[in-house]
Amino acid sequence: MEDDMIMDKKRRKTASADFLLQWSQWQLLDSILPTGGFAHSFGLEAAIQARIILGHEDFKNQVIHILENTGSLLLPFVYSATNSPDLDTWQRLDRILDATLTNEVSRKASIAQGSALMRVAAAVFTEVPCLKTMRDACIGSGAVSFHHAPIFGMICGLLGMDSETSQKAYIFITMRDAISAATRLNLVGPLGAAVLQHQLCLVAETVLKKWMDHTVEEACQTAPLLDTLQGCHSYLFSRLFCS
């Protein structure tokens, strides 16, 4: 009888932890979380000004390239961080990513978004106190640049997400932010954007299945034209976005 009560209590505790995980997950993926993702266009703005994107088909293909490049270059960092969400791993991954993001524009964007995300997560997810302690230990010390992908992966890991979900989530937020940037660049209207996002689910899933669970040594870029264009962002005379 007592054994049954203990089992029941354990099951309820696990169930309530699961509930909390789901609410946290949805909040992390909601675009209303103030992480500054809206300031970045993933090279779309530079591509428009270079006349690489002239119409809807070009734009759709560009988003597909952005998704695949995110998969090949950044998913390994999300994967490793989710599996070992500790200070040493975070510092190591951050250092490697800093050398891997050779495009200055995307490197700065990653740092800006990562810093904002860490700050928000430390304040919001108070049931994970080590987020705040790790942040406080690293801020101002120069030991960490606060790159986005490892921080995202680490937060997912600390919240209890598995690595497939965290990698899928990373692809999701990239797709969400790229398409959102496109609406502000007048490439597509809000309804068209929503339609496109749903149409691209299959591509997003293919990207995930292909690039998930790789090591950071295997990280590579698969869209060199996009990388070159994104690097031109600081040459744009008039611009809406930071990157």
Partner 1 sequence: METGKVTVEKVDGKSTVTRCFSKYPLKFIIPTKVGPSKSDAVWIYTLTYGGGIVSGDSISSEFNIGDGCTTVLTTQASTKVYKSLGSKCSEQFLEARIGRDSLLAVIPDPVTCFSTARYSQKQVFRVLSDSNLVIVDWITSGRHESGEKWDFDLYKSTNNIFLDHDQPLFLDTVLLEQGNIAAITERMRDYQVIAMVIILGPKLKHIQTQVQEHVKMIMSEQLQVPFVGLRGHIKSNSSICFTKPPFIASCSLFGPKGMGIVVRIAAMTTESVYKFLRQQLASMELLIGVLPYR
Site residues for partner 1 per CB under 8 A: 46, 48-52, 54, 61, 64-65, 67-68, 72, 95-96, 99-100, 102-105, 107, 186, 203, 206-207, 210, 219-232, 235-238
Q: How far is the CB of 126 from partner 1 (least distance, A)?
A: 34
- Tokens representing 241 are 């976005």
Is the Cβ of residue 144 or residue 226 nearer to partner 1 in the bound state? 226
d(CA 180, CA 237): 22
| CA count, 13 A, side-chain hemisphere, 104 | 5
List the Cα angle 30/93/91 in 5-degree steps.
Answer: 100
- Tokens representing 233 are 């962002």
d(CA 70, CA 82): 16
Burial class (CB in 10 A: 0-12, 13-18, 19+), 73: buried
Torsion of CA 95, 97, 99, 102, to 10 degrees: -150
Is the Cβ of residue 48 or residue 155 nearer to partner 1 in the bound state? 48
Q: How far is the CB of 149 from partner 1 (least distance, A)?
A: 14
Is the Cβ of residue 31 or residue 228 nearer to partner 1 in the bound state? 228
d(CA 188, CA 180): 9
Q: How far is the CB of 52 from partner 1 (least distance, A)?
A: 6
d(CA 42, CA 99): 19
Q: How far is the CB of 205 from partner 1 (least distance, A)?
A: 11
Contact 219, 99 (CB under 8 A): no
Is the Cβ of residue 81 or residue 207 nearer to partner 1 in the bound state? 207
Is the Cβ of residue 36 or residue 231 nearer to partner 1 in the bound state? 231
Is the Cβ of residue 45 or residue 125 nearer to partner 1 in the bound state? 45
Q: How far is the CB of 5 from partner 1 (least distance, A)?
A: 53
Q: How far is the CB of 227 from partner 1 (least distance, A)?
A: 6
Q: How far is the CB of 96 from partner 1 (least distance, A)?
A: 6
Is the Cβ of residue 77 or residue 125 nearer to partner 1 in the bound state? 77
Nearest of 35, 28, 40, 178 to residue 108 by alpha carbon: 40
